[in-house]
Amino acid sequence: MVQMLLSRKAACNAHGQDSSYFLGWEEYEKNPYDPDTNPTGIIQMGLAENQALADFMGQLRGNKVELEWRNLVLTAGSTSANETLIFCLAEPGEAFLLPTPYYPGFDRDLKWRTGADIVPIRCSSSNGFRITKRAVEKAYRQARKQSLRVKGVLVTNPSNPLGTSLTGGEIRTLLDFALAKDVHLISDEIYAGTAFAGSGGGYVSVLEVMQGHPLHSDLAGRVHVVYSLSKDLGLPGFRVGALYSGNAAVVAAATKMSSFGLVSSQTQYLLAALLSDRDFTARYVAENKRRIAERHGRLVEGLRRAGVECLESDAGLFCWVDMRPLLLADTFEAEMELWRKVVYEVGLNISPGSSCHCGEPGWFRLCFANMTADTLDVALRRLQDFVASSGRGGGRHPATDGRPRGPIRLARWMMMGLSSSCERGY
């Protein structure tokens, strides 16, 4: 049944992959040379192994999930991985459900060349923008009303732009939905290594939850994970991404498509050496998380002094800021007017929630991916001065449920000198 859920492109044989040029690669995988255990095997003279990346992904997940390197396909960044999966799973005019707010680049990455469509799962600030079964079912019905065939759900975990990790309950809801509707689930987990301690229980991969699902075997062919080294190792310019799938047909089709976005052999060789040093990667990730938490404290205090509240978060390179008290009206027009003031008068480049398809005006994403502590202090002083001059900060928005929002647990320091990995390649 899962095989029937693939696109015609994924199943066709017009790719030329059956020539002897490509079949040689397949034979090597069946019979790889080893000087001790298989001295007569085939010697590979051009490809790097995926094992190091599979091990690193498992390490980030607390080694609770064992990833099989044969299920991994390298791509030129996560953008390429997401688009490749859509090509494999959907025909033009078919749709994927995405919870709002979502990364604005998905409108380009998932739709532009594939011809696929996006139907939003409307999430609300009343429950911290959590995904509910009711919201997913409503989006599915809306797609059907639009005569769109739904091929799956795509989530970012941890979320971009919310900076929150999905709970085990949310993931189980999505897995059950995928089974009930006979569709796929794509989990973009490029921020896995940025997750730090939070009150929500912390990051858990969809692979781990699927592993404990009673219908694990039925889910294995319809759950797919996207990953990248851009965020966790601060290497956006290397353009190294991957997709992981237990569906052999998807892996085979994605491998063929990856020829249009290859990772260079030199880059693969360098990263294989880096990722094979598990002591270094463990220390790097731990130190990175420590610095995130440290910057988080600085950010929280500055935002509090400005009278601005945020959604409580536990991962990512950004925070989801509640600036609804600063709106002159509860409209998206008022949100854009506030955004223009912040950009042109205050001098801060932030993203309005409407650009992320948020259904409630007044939310903004603030990204601090490559900012020094001094620059952050300057930004916070500007924001404090602006809120004070407006005379509207520090209060709760009337649309909230009345509960005080916890302090934002978000910040990030990454390699200096790199271009912002938050705004480019998200």
Active site residue 36: no
Q: CA 157 to CA 87: how far, in whole Å?
A: 21
CA–CA dist 238, 268 (Å, integer)? 10
Q: Is 186 a catalytic residue?
A: no
List C-alpha distances in Å: 4 to 18, 88, 185, 247, 362: 22, 11, 15, 12, 43
DSSP letter, residue 102: -
C-alpha distance from residue 406 to each of 1, 165, 304, 311, 321 (Å): 45, 16, 11, 7, 12
Contact 107, 138 (CB under 8 A): no
End-to-end CA distance of the chain: give it in Å, rounded. Answer: 34
231 is known as an active-site residue: yes
* 182: three-class secondary structure by DSSP: coil
73 — phi, psi (to 5°)?
Answer: -125, 120
Active site annotation includes 188: yes
Question: Of these residues, 109, 188, 232, 314, which one is catalytic?
Answer: 188
Catalytic residue among 103, 140, 244, 426: 103
User: Computed from CA positions of residues 233, 234, 239, 243, in that sequence, does the dihedral angle turn out positive or negative?
Assistant: positive
Q: What distance in Å separates the CA atoms of residue 421 and residue 228, rounded to the nearest whole number?
A: 12
Listing DSSP states for 314-359 in one string gives: -SSSEEEEE-GGG-SSSSHHHHHHHHHHIIIII----EEGGGGT-S
Q: Is 406 exposed, middle or buried (0-12, 13-18, 19+ CB in 10 A)?
A: middle
Cα-Cα-Cα-Cα dihedral sign, residues 23, 68, 6, 146: negative
* Cα–Cα separations (whole angstroms), residue 329 to 263, 323, 351, 397, 401: 48, 12, 19, 11, 19
Contact 310, 410 (CB under 8 A): yes
E strand or H helix at 152: strand 150-156
Which of the following is catalytic: 131, 151, 203, 231? 231
Query: Two tokens at 61?
Result: 């997940």
> Choosing from 121, 171, 186, 190, which is the catalytic residue?
190
Nearest to 394 by CA among 379, 404, 408: 404
**In 3D, which of 6, 198, 202, 197 has the Cα closest to residue 87?**
6
Residue entry with tokens 């854009």: 336
- Catalytic residue ranges: 103, 188, 190, 231
